[in-house]
Amino acid sequence: MTNTLRSPFFVVNPKSYLYGEEEYKLAAVAEELAVKYDVDILFTGQLVDLARIAHDFPHLFVCAQAMESLKPGRGMGHILPEALKAAGVRATFLNHAENPMTMSELTKTIARAKEVGILTVVCADDVADAKAIAQLHPDVMVCELTSLIGTGKTADESYMKATNEAVKTISPETKTLQAAGISTAEDVYKAIASGADGTGGTSGIVCAKDPVATLREMIAALDKARTDFYK
């Protein structure tokens, strides 16, 4: 199985809103949609749930919400890259605003991810932040203003285009993801129209009146954007 993301892709990121059976049920819908539309969907989850999701839903890019740079041996209470890989995890978020990392640790963790074959999805705030982190050549750069996370308000088109360009200028192989405030199918389409390789959501999905219907609408919009901008 190749571990290369195809654009445009989508991230379903329940954070700590869901766990156990509720998280599993949403992952099942994501798996169904990944197959139906032949699109790549990253699905994050609680660490204790990832192995089951990876085993049962092989079309998803199962994604850890965090990882660290340690190696097998001492390191009580930390997240070992090799353990994630063995559980079927294919990607990991790093440096999210709710779990920031120092540049030193981020650099080491990206290197460790490359060693074990886990994709890195690294978060940046403004354009300057995106430029700095792009120099580490992550697989995916999540460009989202911290001030907009969870607000239901998306960044304006100028921010999306500026961060996409900033990342691609420094690291052309890095894919960009525009994510903050994504809550509707229209938001999804707009993010891809900006030139981003992907988008995704958290509260816009899990806190919606009907999360499953919302996710279905979003993936349908992603498929339409793929037709309009990638074919």
The pLDDT score that the predictor gives to residue 225 is 97
Q: Which helix (H) or strand (E) holds 120?
A: strand 119-124
Exposed / middle / buried, residue 168 (Cβ in 10 Å: 0-12, 13-18, 19+): middle
Give me the pLDDT at residue 49, please: 98
User: Which pTM does this prediction carry?
Assistant: 0.94
Is the pLDDT at 153 greater than 70? The verdict is no
Pair 207, 17: CB distance under 8 Å:
yes
| 6 backbone dihedrals φ, ψ, rounded to 5° | -100, 140
CATH of domain 9-229: 3.20.20.70
* CA angle at 207 for the pair 12 and 181, rounded to the nearest 5°: 65
pLDDT digits (tens, 9 = 90+) for 188-198: 999 999 999 99
Q: Domain residue spans in the chain?
A: 9-229
Torsional sign, CA 129, 144, 1, 72:
positive
Q: Do 29 and 211 contact (CB within 8 A), yes or no?
A: no
Q: Which of 23, 31, 68, 96 is catalytic?
A: 96
Name which of 30, 31, 61, 24 is nearest 46 in CA terms: 24
What does the pLDDT average to over 61-82? 96
Cβ atoms 44, 64 nearer than 8 A: yes
Calculate mean pLDDT across residues 148-155: 62
- Split at pLDDT 50, 70, 90, the class of 149 is low
Catalytic residue among 59, 144, 165, 186: 144
Q: pLDDT class for 147, splitting at 50, 70, 90?
A: low
144 is catalytic: yes
Identify whether 96 is a catalytic site residue.
yes
